[in-house]
Structure 1
Amino acid sequence: HAFIIGDESHPMKAEVDKTLNQLIYRLIGIGYVAETNFVLQDLEGEQMEDSLRHHSEKLALAFGLMTLPSEKVIRIR
């Protein structure tokens, strides 16, 4: 599978987004804060965090968590 920022064509896009949002809210609950100092795009505040939140590697992780057995390794390239 391949995930590209802004690509809405993946057949499980809605489920992947839901899983990723649940994961991020759990992380925020334990103190996660997005590091926005290294964002190269000209975005502000919430747009910047949203860009980081839906990064392709994070989408791939959410997909792996949804579809693979828990004992399997998730490898993202």
Structure 2
Amino acid sequence: MIERERQDKEAVEARNQLLSEANKKAQRRISIGFVVLVVAVLGAVSLGIFSRHQVDIANSQVQSAKEKVNSANAQVDEAKSDNFIT
């Protein structure tokens, strides 16, 4: 009977040790996964901010080009009307 209790106790200790190691391994994997997730999210946010900035620059350049085209068109229209008057 004492031998049986000793074997049961050893089996429980071995199982607890195995579970403890498995838990540590799982926690390590969770921590690594969390770090990877945070890095990925920060990268995505950074790219989004950068992209938005680039779009704003492009829109500004398009607006400037439109203004130049409108000014040139106005000059052409003025030149045409001057030629018709003379």
Question: Does TM, normalized by the shorter one, top 0.5?
Answer: no
Q: TM-score range by the shorter chain?
A: under 0.3
Higher relative contact order (CA 8 A, sep 6+): 1
Question: Which has the larger share of helix?
Answer: 2
Q: Which has the larger radius of gyration?
A: 2
